[in-house]
Structure 1
Amino acid sequence: MSNKIVSLTEEIVQPIVDDMNLELVDIEFVKEGKNHFLRVYVDKEGGVDIEDCEQVSERLSEQLDEHDPIEQAYFLEVSSPGVERKLKKREDFERFVGSYMYVKTYEPIDGDKEFWGDLIQFTDDELTLEVKVKTQTKQVTIPYKKVANAHLAVQF
Protein backbone atom coordinates (compact mmCIF):
# COMPACT_ATOMS: atom_id res chain seq x y z
CA MET A 1 0.00 0.00 0.00
CA SER A 2 2.79 2.41 0.93
CA ASN A 3 4.58 1.94 -2.44
CA LYS A 4 1.32 2.58 -4.30
CA ILE A 5 0.75 5.82 -2.37
CA VAL A 6 4.33 6.94 -3.07
CA SER A 7 3.92 6.19 -6.79
CA LEU A 8 0.58 8.01 -7.02
CA THR A 9 1.97 10.98 -5.09
CA GLU A 10 4.97 11.11 -7.43
CA GLU A 11 2.65 11.25 -10.46
CA ILE A 12 0.76 14.14 -8.87
CA VAL A 13 3.69 16.16 -7.48
CA GLN A 14 6.20 15.79 -10.35
CA PRO A 15 4.41 18.30 -12.65
CA ILE A 16 4.15 20.73 -9.71
CA VAL A 17 7.87 20.66 -8.92
CA ASP A 18 8.74 20.77 -12.63
CA ASP A 19 6.57 23.87 -13.02
CA MET A 20 8.38 25.50 -10.09
CA ASN A 21 11.87 24.49 -11.38
CA LEU A 22 12.44 22.31 -8.33
CA GLU A 23 13.83 18.80 -7.99
CA LEU A 24 11.76 16.02 -6.45
CA VAL A 25 14.26 14.28 -4.17
CA ASP A 26 12.18 11.71 -2.31
CA ILE A 27 8.70 10.74 -1.12
CA GLU A 28 7.90 8.70 1.99
CA PHE A 29 4.62 7.45 3.38
CA VAL A 30 5.25 6.22 6.92
CA LYS A 31 3.38 5.43 10.10
CA GLU A 32 4.87 6.84 13.28
CA GLY A 33 2.93 5.95 16.40
CA LYS A 34 -0.76 6.38 15.60
CA ASN A 35 -0.18 8.89 12.78
CA HIS A 36 0.61 8.55 9.09
CA PHE A 37 2.91 11.03 7.35
CA LEU A 38 3.28 11.76 3.66
CA ARG A 39 6.68 13.43 3.34
CA VAL A 40 7.82 15.08 0.14
CA TYR A 41 11.40 16.33 -0.14
CA VAL A 42 12.24 18.98 -2.75
CA ASP A 43 15.41 20.86 -3.59
CA LYS A 44 16.94 23.32 -6.05
CA GLU A 45 20.34 24.77 -6.76
CA GLY A 46 21.17 26.91 -3.73
CA GLY A 47 18.52 25.16 -1.61
CA VAL A 48 14.78 25.59 -1.12
CA ASP A 49 13.22 28.07 1.26
CA ILE A 50 10.03 28.00 3.32
CA GLU A 51 8.04 29.71 0.54
CA ASP A 52 9.01 26.99 -1.96
CA CYS A 53 7.86 24.31 0.48
CA GLU A 54 4.61 26.16 1.24
CA GLN A 55 3.77 26.53 -2.46
CA VAL A 56 4.42 22.85 -3.17
CA SER A 57 2.41 21.88 -0.09
CA GLU A 58 -0.58 24.02 -1.08
CA ARG A 59 -0.62 22.87 -4.70
CA LEU A 60 -0.04 19.22 -3.79
CA SER A 61 -2.70 19.32 -1.06
CA GLU A 62 -5.28 20.58 -3.57
CA GLN A 63 -4.38 17.81 -6.01
CA LEU A 64 -4.40 15.12 -3.32
CA ASP A 65 -7.84 16.28 -2.15
CA GLU A 66 -9.09 16.07 -5.74
CA HIS A 67 -7.60 12.63 -6.49
CA ASP A 68 -7.99 11.28 -2.92
CA PRO A 69 -5.42 8.42 -3.24
CA ILE A 70 -4.96 7.93 0.53
CA GLU A 71 -7.75 6.36 2.57
CA GLN A 72 -6.48 7.02 6.09
CA ALA A 73 -5.89 10.39 7.73
CA TYR A 74 -2.33 11.67 7.32
CA PHE A 75 -0.12 14.70 7.76
CA LEU A 76 1.48 16.21 4.64
CA GLU A 77 5.01 17.54 5.12
CA VAL A 78 7.02 19.22 2.35
CA SER A 79 10.62 20.07 3.16
CA SER A 80 14.23 20.26 2.07
CA PRO A 81 16.19 17.00 2.13
CA GLY A 82 18.58 18.63 4.62
CA VAL A 83 22.35 18.45 4.92
CA GLU A 84 22.31 14.65 5.08
CA ARG A 85 20.34 14.33 1.86
CA LYS A 86 19.59 10.76 0.78
CA LEU A 87 21.19 9.64 -2.46
CA LYS A 88 18.82 7.33 -4.30
CA LYS A 89 19.25 7.80 -8.04
CA ARG A 90 22.27 7.57 -10.30
CA GLU A 91 21.86 11.29 -10.99
CA ASP A 92 22.27 11.99 -7.25
CA PHE A 93 25.68 10.30 -7.22
CA GLU A 94 26.74 12.07 -10.43
CA ARG A 95 25.74 15.43 -8.96
CA PHE A 96 27.58 14.93 -5.68
CA VAL A 97 30.96 13.69 -6.94
CA GLY A 98 33.47 15.39 -4.64
CA SER A 99 31.12 15.31 -1.64
CA TYR A 100 31.58 13.53 1.67
CA MET A 101 29.02 10.76 2.20
CA TYR A 102 27.97 7.61 4.00
CA VAL A 103 27.33 4.45 1.99
CA LYS A 104 25.94 1.17 3.31
CA THR A 105 26.12 -1.94 1.13
CA TYR A 106 23.99 -5.09 0.95
CA GLU A 107 27.06 -7.26 1.37
CA PRO A 108 30.60 -6.71 2.63
CA ILE A 109 33.27 -5.15 0.43
CA ASP A 110 36.79 -5.65 1.74
CA GLY A 111 35.17 -6.90 4.97
CA ASP A 112 33.01 -3.81 5.58
CA LYS A 113 29.41 -2.84 4.83
CA GLU A 114 29.59 0.82 5.93
CA PHE A 115 31.80 3.50 4.44
CA TRP A 116 32.34 7.23 5.07
CA GLY A 117 34.38 9.12 2.53
CA ASP A 118 34.61 11.47 -0.42
CA LEU A 119 32.99 10.31 -3.64
CA ILE A 120 35.80 10.77 -6.13
CA GLN A 121 34.21 9.04 -9.12
CA PHE A 122 30.88 7.63 -10.26
CA THR A 123 30.09 5.58 -13.35
CA ASP A 124 26.90 3.71 -14.22
CA ASP A 125 28.21 0.57 -12.60
CA GLU A 126 30.27 1.69 -9.61
CA LEU A 127 31.27 4.45 -7.27
CA THR A 128 34.71 5.12 -5.88
CA LEU A 129 35.07 6.52 -2.37
CA GLU A 130 38.23 7.79 -0.79
CA VAL A 131 37.98 6.64 2.81
CA LYS A 132 40.22 7.22 5.79
CA VAL A 133 41.42 4.16 7.69
CA LYS A 134 43.21 5.27 10.85
CA THR A 135 45.92 7.60 9.46
CA GLN A 136 45.83 6.34 5.87
CA THR A 137 43.46 6.98 2.99
CA LYS A 138 42.45 4.34 0.51
CA GLN A 139 40.06 4.05 -2.38
CA VAL A 140 37.11 1.68 -2.22
CA THR A 141 35.19 0.76 -5.34
CA ILE A 142 31.56 -0.16 -4.67
CA PRO A 143 29.29 -1.67 -7.33
CA TYR A 144 26.23 0.57 -7.67
CA LYS A 145 23.88 -2.43 -7.45
CA LYS A 146 25.30 -3.27 -3.99
CA VAL A 147 24.43 0.13 -2.47
CA ALA A 148 21.69 -0.44 0.13
CA ASN A 149 21.47 3.22 1.10
CA ALA A 150 23.55 6.35 0.95
CA HIS A 151 23.38 9.95 2.09
CA LEU A 152 25.50 13.05 2.22
CA ALA A 153 27.28 13.31 5.56
CA VAL A 154 28.67 16.07 7.72
CA GLN A 155 32.38 15.66 8.31
CA PHE A 156 33.76 16.57 11.74
Structure 2
Amino acid sequence: MAWDEWEQIKAATAEHHSTQMQLNQLPVDQGGSASASGSKPGSGGGSDTLRHSNGPWTDAADTANDLKISTESTRKGLQSSHTGVAAGAAGLASLAALKTVITSWEKRLEAVRDECESLEPKLRTVAKDMGEYDSAVAAKTRAVHVSDGGKNP
Protein backbone atom coordinates (compact mmCIF):
# COMPACT_ATOMS: atom_id res chain seq x y z
CA MET A 1 0.00 0.00 0.00
CA ALA A 2 1.38 3.38 -0.99
CA TRP A 3 1.91 6.16 1.54
CA ASP A 4 -0.65 8.43 -0.17
CA GLU A 5 -3.25 5.70 -0.07
CA TRP A 6 -2.65 5.25 3.68
CA GLU A 7 -3.07 8.99 4.24
CA GLN A 8 -6.39 8.94 2.34
CA ILE A 9 -7.70 6.08 4.48
CA LYS A 10 -6.72 7.93 7.67
CA ALA A 11 -8.40 11.14 6.44
CA ALA A 12 -11.61 9.30 5.53
CA THR A 13 -11.68 7.61 8.93
CA ALA A 14 -11.14 10.92 10.71
CA GLU A 15 -14.11 12.43 8.84
CA HIS A 16 -16.38 9.62 10.05
CA HIS A 17 -15.23 9.99 13.67
CA SER A 18 -15.27 13.74 13.99
CA THR A 19 -17.80 13.91 16.85
CA GLN A 20 -16.05 14.67 20.14
CA MET A 21 -16.87 12.36 23.00
CA GLN A 22 -16.28 12.67 26.70
CA LEU A 23 -16.17 10.22 29.58
CA ASN A 24 -19.92 10.23 30.13
CA GLN A 25 -20.40 9.52 26.40
CA LEU A 26 -22.36 12.69 25.58
CA PRO A 27 -21.23 14.26 22.32
CA VAL A 28 -20.27 17.93 22.66
CA ASP A 29 -23.08 19.01 20.32
CA GLN A 30 -25.72 17.28 22.50
CA GLY A 31 -25.22 19.19 25.72
CA GLY A 32 -21.87 17.77 26.75
CA SER A 33 -18.78 19.82 27.36
CA ALA A 34 -15.40 19.35 25.78
CA SER A 35 -13.82 18.09 28.99
CA ALA A 36 -14.36 15.19 31.36
CA SER A 37 -16.17 16.37 34.41
CA GLY A 38 -16.71 15.24 37.96
CA SER A 39 -20.39 16.01 37.69
CA LYS A 40 -23.16 13.47 37.45
CA PRO A 41 -23.14 11.42 34.26
CA GLY A 42 -25.38 13.00 31.68
CA SER A 43 -25.45 16.40 33.35
CA GLY A 44 -23.45 17.99 30.55
CA GLY A 45 -21.41 20.26 32.78
CA GLY A 46 -19.24 20.21 35.78
CA SER A 47 -16.21 21.41 37.55
CA ASP A 48 -13.68 19.29 35.64
CA THR A 49 -12.65 17.76 38.95
CA LEU A 50 -13.05 14.19 40.12
CA ARG A 51 -14.55 14.32 43.59
CA HIS A 52 -14.94 11.69 46.27
CA SER A 53 -16.34 12.08 49.72
CA ASN A 54 -15.35 9.90 52.63
CA GLY A 55 -18.41 11.23 54.45
CA PRO A 56 -20.85 8.34 53.97
CA TRP A 57 -18.27 5.71 54.87
CA THR A 58 -17.00 7.64 57.88
CA ASP A 59 -20.58 8.33 59.01
CA ALA A 60 -21.37 4.62 58.74
CA ALA A 61 -18.26 3.77 60.77
CA ASP A 62 -19.25 6.32 63.42
CA THR A 63 -22.77 4.87 63.54
CA ALA A 64 -21.38 1.34 63.91
CA ASN A 65 -19.20 2.53 66.80
CA ASP A 66 -22.12 4.33 68.48
CA LEU A 67 -24.31 1.26 68.08
CA LYS A 68 -21.58 -0.97 69.52
CA ILE A 69 -21.28 1.27 72.58
CA SER A 70 -25.03 1.61 73.17
CA THR A 71 -25.60 -2.13 72.63
CA GLU A 72 -22.94 -3.03 75.20
CA SER A 73 -24.40 -0.49 77.62
CA THR A 74 -27.88 -1.97 77.14
CA ARG A 75 -26.56 -5.49 77.63
CA LYS A 76 -24.87 -4.51 80.88
CA GLY A 77 -28.03 -2.73 82.01
CA LEU A 78 -30.06 -5.85 81.28
CA GLN A 79 -27.66 -7.94 83.36
CA SER A 80 -27.61 -5.55 86.30
CA SER A 81 -31.38 -5.05 86.34
CA HIS A 82 -31.90 -8.79 86.65
CA THR A 83 -29.24 -9.39 89.31
CA GLY A 84 -30.87 -11.08 92.27
CA VAL A 85 -34.13 -11.77 90.42
CA ALA A 86 -33.55 -15.50 90.80
CA ALA A 87 -33.34 -15.18 94.57
CA GLY A 88 -36.40 -12.95 94.85
CA ALA A 89 -38.48 -14.98 92.41
CA ALA A 90 -37.64 -18.43 93.74
CA GLY A 91 -40.56 -20.75 93.33
CA LEU A 92 -42.24 -18.78 90.54
CA ALA A 93 -43.05 -20.79 87.43
CA SER A 94 -42.06 -17.87 85.18
CA LEU A 95 -38.48 -17.77 86.52
CA ALA A 96 -37.26 -20.37 84.01
CA ALA A 97 -38.90 -18.47 81.14
CA LEU A 98 -37.40 -15.19 82.37
CA LYS A 99 -33.93 -16.71 82.47
CA THR A 100 -34.39 -18.04 78.92
CA VAL A 101 -35.51 -14.63 77.65
CA ILE A 102 -32.64 -12.82 79.39
CA THR A 103 -30.08 -15.28 78.01
CA SER A 104 -31.56 -14.95 74.51
CA TRP A 105 -31.42 -11.13 74.61
CA GLU A 106 -27.88 -11.13 75.98
CA LYS A 107 -26.76 -13.34 73.06
CA ARG A 108 -28.53 -11.09 70.54
CA LEU A 109 -27.03 -7.93 71.99
CA GLU A 110 -23.56 -9.52 72.05
CA ALA A 111 -23.96 -10.50 68.38
CA VAL A 112 -24.96 -6.94 67.42
CA ARG A 113 -22.08 -5.49 69.45
CA ASP A 114 -19.58 -7.89 67.88
CA GLU A 115 -20.86 -7.20 64.35
CA CYS A 116 -20.59 -3.43 64.87
CA GLU A 117 -17.12 -3.85 66.33
CA SER A 118 -16.13 -5.81 63.22
CA LEU A 119 -17.71 -3.34 60.77
CA GLU A 120 -16.31 -0.09 62.13
CA PRO A 121 -12.65 -0.56 61.10
CA LYS A 122 -13.69 -2.03 57.73
CA LEU A 123 -15.82 1.03 56.95
CA ARG A 124 -12.99 3.37 57.95
CA THR A 125 -10.62 1.41 55.71
CA VAL A 126 -12.99 1.80 52.75
CA ALA A 127 -13.14 5.58 53.32
CA LYS A 128 -9.35 5.77 53.47
CA ASP A 129 -8.75 3.43 50.52
CA MET A 130 -11.31 5.12 48.29
CA GLY A 131 -9.79 8.51 49.03
CA GLU A 132 -6.31 7.24 48.24
CA TYR A 133 -7.54 5.48 45.10
CA ASP A 134 -9.27 8.64 43.87
CA SER A 135 -6.10 10.62 44.51
CA ALA A 136 -4.04 8.10 42.55
CA VAL A 137 -6.50 8.20 39.64
CA ALA A 138 -6.50 12.01 39.67
CA ALA A 139 -2.69 12.04 39.57
CA LYS A 140 -2.67 9.66 36.62
CA THR A 141 -5.23 11.71 34.70
CA ARG A 142 -3.24 14.90 35.33
CA ALA A 143 -0.21 13.13 33.86
CA VAL A 144 -1.97 12.76 30.49
CA HIS A 145 -1.05 15.75 28.35
CA VAL A 146 -3.27 16.72 25.43
CA SER A 147 -1.60 19.08 22.99
CA ASP A 148 -4.63 21.28 22.30
CA GLY A 149 -6.40 20.82 25.61
CA GLY A 150 -8.68 18.14 24.16
CA LYS A 151 -10.68 20.66 22.12
CA ASN A 152 -10.09 19.06 18.73
CA PRO A 153 -10.27 15.37 17.84
Name the structure where helix makes up a greater proportion of residues: 2
Name the structure where strand makes up a greater proportion of residues: 1
Q: Which one scores higher on RCO, CA 8 angstroms, separation ≥ 6?
A: 2
TM-score per shorter chain, which class? under 0.3
Instruction: Tell me the TM-score normalized by structure 1.
Output: 0.20
| Higher Cα radius of gyration | 2
Instruction: Tell me the TM-score normalized by structure 2.
Output: 0.20
